[in-house]
Structure 1
Amino acid sequence: MKQVSSIPNVTKLFGRYYVFMILSLVLVNCKSAKISKHLHHTLNSSFYDNQFTGLMVYNPKTKDTVFSHNGNRYFTPASNTKIFTLYTALQYLPDQIPALKYAIDQDTLIVKGTGDPSFLHPYFKDSTALNFMKSFNAIQLVTANYHNEKFGPGWAWEDYDMYYSPERSAFPMYGNVATIWNTGQLATYPEFLKGKTTYSELNSRRDFNTNTFFYKITRKDTIEVPFVVDSTLLRQLWDDLLPGKVKIIPNTKTKTDQTLYSVASDSVYKRMMQVSDNFLAEQLLILASSTVSDTLDADKVRKSILDKQLNDLKQKPYWVDGSGLSRYNLFTPLSFVQVLEKLYADIPRERLFNFFPVGGKSGTIKSWYAGNTVPYVYAKTGTVGNVHCLSGYLLTNSGEVLIFSFMNNNYRTSTTKVKEQMQTVLEYLRDTY
């Protein structure tokens, strides 16, 4: 009798469960409808009349699109492009950065660059490769394996002397910049470039085509000025490091099939994302190409990942560089959300969020999107003239994680006002969803 009488109780239990699920779905739908109505009203306000704006918000747990406004339209992404670069690097690179490829032929070390940006970089100052090379009396540095231009397509020519626009190369040194400061007299890193640096009353920091550097006499700060990566300077820098040891050659028949590793890859990813370092982003794509071929070609690795790992993107981007310096780049909010979802699914949350700037705490959003007690935005900014974008992860007060991409193009107001509007929207999502 007890077994028979329990059947109605089981039925009641399942009935209550289904009722609960139906009610939950109704509540969720009502909440989503309310949020969608509010956000549509916001993005149709007069503030957005004279600009082009896209916003997509997605819940990776329920697989639901919470909101989409121009989510499938193409925008200039600026440094949001680095999200795709991060994904690519994580797909191709090992836990430590490949510093160089080499072979030993009797007493000669034959070296090919991999694009490692950390070698004597002003931030990383990694000397792994240098210490390895010091033990050899004869070194041949092969240069013809690099197949890209020194600048990306669509980069602004007048940025040639700005810190954010170093040249790309196969074997970067010192971040491909001269670091200059004033301690009563001029000082440089590397010290060798002090002899090429003078005070000036002008704003120019370097001659257009030569490695002659200028420090404005009224300055007090430290500046970084890209140098011209030409054969003359490379010979001089290597002779300064390893006098008489390094010979630069175009090609070799020797197979350089051994690899030396340098810094932890995550440290480079974090630096790239946190401070939006264009040089690191460009070199990471070159590095990724070094893992599949002796030829260093960022164009090929971009094409490869779009054709393979990212062949399911609903809107294929027009992607021309690693940093987002180029205005030729075109991405949709949906494509960023899809890649951010892939990252969220593949990488433990603590590690993933550690790469991104944190609202109110660190990186390029240190002064924005501060939570009341804990951070709620982990996202990458992208800013060039009349463009500001933000894509990443948002933590709601209810404990949900939302993926979003908020893209603004062609505005004529100040970027600060655009950020204020964005912050209002993201706070609403945090408090309401």
Structure 2
Amino acid sequence: MLNIKQKLNSSHYRYLYKSLFISIFCLILFLAGCSSSPLSKFSSVSTKEPFETSFHGLVVIDANSGKVLHSTNGDKYFIPASNVKIFTLFAAKKMLSKKAPALKYVFRNDTTYIKGTGYPASLHPYFNDSLGVFFLKKQQGISLSLPQNEIPRFGPGWAWEDYDTYFSPEINDFPLYGNVLTAYPENEKRIYPSILNDSVYVKNNPVGREEFSNTFYINQNNNDTLTIPFITAPIFTKKMLEDVLKQDVSISKVFPNSEPQILEGIETDSIAKRMMYVSDNFLAEQLLLMCSSTLSDTLSSKKTITHILENELSDLKNQPRWVDGSGLSRYNLFTPESMVHVLKKLYEELPSEKLFALFPSWNRDGTIETWEELQKPRYIFAKSGGMGNTYNLSGYLKTKSGKILIFSSMNNHFRVPSSKVREEIELILMSLWERY
């Protein structure tokens, strides 16, 4: 029979063994979870070279339940670059009809008064939309009304030296030809619009256009299709309209005080999809102007942004600093949580098939229009956004089991090639696809 001291020792050892067993079991579960968790891969990114001195955020949620699966720096502000276009898409879906408003018009006596809505597709090199031209050719007298407010040709915080680059066309109320000169490399170079033929010089020059005049330069040995923004102005819009309509167009400072009719253009989704697939900055900015045209006669990106933030997105936990439609500005500041919030709203309000069609596929090489991984169906529907020292990716992930996840990976201030960041993002997304 054990004495009291022996009983105490026996109980003490049983307690130690039990505690040790529980500790080992918990440690095994913890290590197993760490080794299998795809999100643990991200947690280590910011502590390993070459990412330890840069800034990274990631939020992943279940699209249907809203459950947060992971959040690192989710409430911190990042420069979003072209991820802003997700908010622009949201605004367009909320404020524009199925068909975009091409122009507003009023018949008065023998004159058709017209005013711009910011519609970007008229005679655009990609859309080649002539609906407005066909309508105006039927009119006997045409008067182009000036916008009620001054529309800045560039967005706030845009880089001034980009004035002649393809991705930085000017913003205006009545765009034509995408607000760019297009030079096609044929046997004899073809210029579009042709009204600018006499303004193009074949000459090796460090810039494609003079900064303050519509004087263009094309290098003699160039064999690519070039797009160079032209300077917009009401008088130049008038000349381009007269050139294509083959009739006089007058300019009016006053639009008749009558309820205008709206000429419908192409489908809004066609414009939005092109914006998302090729990250078209011009289309993004003009979409915001079109949205403001549904509120009043004042065309203003700021007016659209204020309306969306105060109404449709008043429930955002982290209100962004949102200054343009394209993301060209470094003034923009958004959090991964805000990106996921808007993506979830879109998911709840649109059928999945229609929504995912608006987002390009993505792999480590970046945004792609054709999905070539035959061994698996499309599973990443996302918008990327990059500029110097910045790369972000936000969108939807359809997992192997069919579950839909919403994610936002935002990465700023790194000094390595963007390809390194994309590789890390791909590892995480592939692990999520496999596990969930």
TM-score surpassing 0.5?
Answer: yes
Distance 1:362 1:347 in 2: 28
- Measured at CA, do residues 54 and 64 of structure 1 come closer, stay the same or move farther in structure 2, by a change above 3 Å? same
Secondary structure, in 3 states, of the residue corresponding to 1:119? Answer: coil
**1:33 CA displacement:** 9.2
Secondary structure, in 3 states, of the residue corresponding to 1:308? Answer: helix
Which of 393, 396, 406 matches 1:393? 396
Alignment correspondent of 1:219? 222
Alignment correspondent of 2:13? none
Distance 1:395 1:125 in 2: 34
Superimposed CA distance per residue, residues 137-168 of structure 1 (whole angstroms, 9 cap, x where no aligned partner): 21111112344311000000010000100000
Alignment correspondent of 1:422? 425
Distance 1:214 1:246 in 2: 29
Q: What is the identity percentage for the equivalent residue pairs of Structure 1 and Structure 2? A: 43
Kept after mapping to 1: 8 A contact 2:360/2:367: yes
**1:235 CA displacement:** 2.9
- Is 1:307 matched up with 2:315? no
Which of 197, 203, 206 matches 1:203? 206
**1:369 CA displacement:** 9.9
Secondary structure, in 3 states, of the residue corresponding to 2:44? Answer: helix
Alignment correspondent of 1:59? 62
Alignment correspondent of 1:265? 268
Kept after mapping to 2: 8 A contact 1:85/1:281: yes
Alignment correspondent of 1:234? 237
Secondary structure, in 3 states, of the residue corresponding to 2:362? Answer: coil
Q: Which letter does structure 2 place at the counterpart of 1:257?
A: P
Q: Which letter does structure 1 place at the counterpart of 2:109?
A: Q
Alignment correspondent of 1:381? 384
Alignment correspondent of 2:52? 49
Kept after mapping to 2: 8 A contact 1:360/1:367: no
Superimposed CA distance per residue, residues 237-292 of structure 1 (whole angstroms, 9 cap, x where no aligned partner): 12212234211222234325211101011111110101000000000000001111
Matches within 5 A, 1:213-362: 213-359=216-362
Distance 2:168 2:179 in 1: 10
Q: Which letter does structure 2 place at the counterpart of 1:181?
A: Y
- Is 1:170 matched up with 2:190? no
Distance 1:48 1:429 in 2: 21
Alpha-carbon RMSD across the aligned residues, in angstroms, is 2.3
- Measured at CA, do residues 113 and 146 of structure 1 come closer, stay the same or move farther in structure 2, by a change above 3 Å? farther
Kept after mapping to 2: 8 A contact 1:275/1:363: no
Alignment correspondent of 1:14? none
Distance 1:280 1:32 in 2: 44
Distance 2:39 2:122 in 1: 49
Kept after mapping to 2: 8 A contact 1:166/1:177: yes
Kept after mapping to 2: 8 A contact 1:391/1:404: yes
Kept after mapping to 2: 8 A contact 1:58/1:402: yes
Kept after mapping to 1: 8 A contact 2:397/2:405: yes
Superimposed CA distance per residue, residues 68-107 of structure 1 (whole angstroms, 9 cap, x where no aligned partner): 1111100000000000000000000000010111100121
- Measured at CA, do residues 333 and 33 of structure 1 come closer, stay the same or move farther in structure 2, by a change above 3 Å? farther
The number of residues matched between the two structures is 407
Q: Which letter does structure 2 place at the counterpart of 1:149?
A: P
Distance 2:315 2:374 in 1: 35
Structure 1: 5+ residue runs without aligned partners?
1-25
- Measured at CA, do residues 314 and 199 of structure 1 come closer, stay the same or move farther in structure 2, by a change above 3 Å? same
Kept after mapping to 2: 8 A contact 1:114/1:171: yes
Alignment correspondent of 1:82? 85
Q: Which letter does structure 2 place at the counterpart of 1:401?
A: I
Kept after mapping to 2: 8 A contact 1:358/1:365: yes
Greater CA drift, 370-379 or 146-155: 370-379
**1:319 CA displacement:** 0.3
Larger Rg: 2
Kept after mapping to 2: 8 A contact 1:112/1:256: no
Which of 145, 148, 154 matches 1:145? 148
Superimposed CA distance per residue, residues 198-217 of structure 1 (whole angstroms, 9 cap, x where no aligned partner): 10112311000100111111
Distance 1:60 1:369 in 2: 26
Secondary structure, in 3 states, of the residue corresponding to 2:361? Answer: coil
Distance 1:362 1:91 in 2: 32
Alignment correspondent of 1:126? 129
- Measured at CA, do residues 363 and 277 of structure 1 come closer, stay the same or move farther in structure 2, by a change above 3 Å? farther
**1:187 CA displacement:** 1.2
Q: Which letter does structure 2 place at the counterpart of 1:364?
A: T
Structure 2: 5+ residue runs without aligned partners?
1-28
- Measured at CA, do residues 82 and 229 of structure 1 come closer, stay the same or move farther in structure 2, by a change above 3 Å? same
Kept after mapping to 2: 8 A contact 1:359/1:367: no
Q: Which letter does structure 2 place at the counterpart of 1:204?
A: V
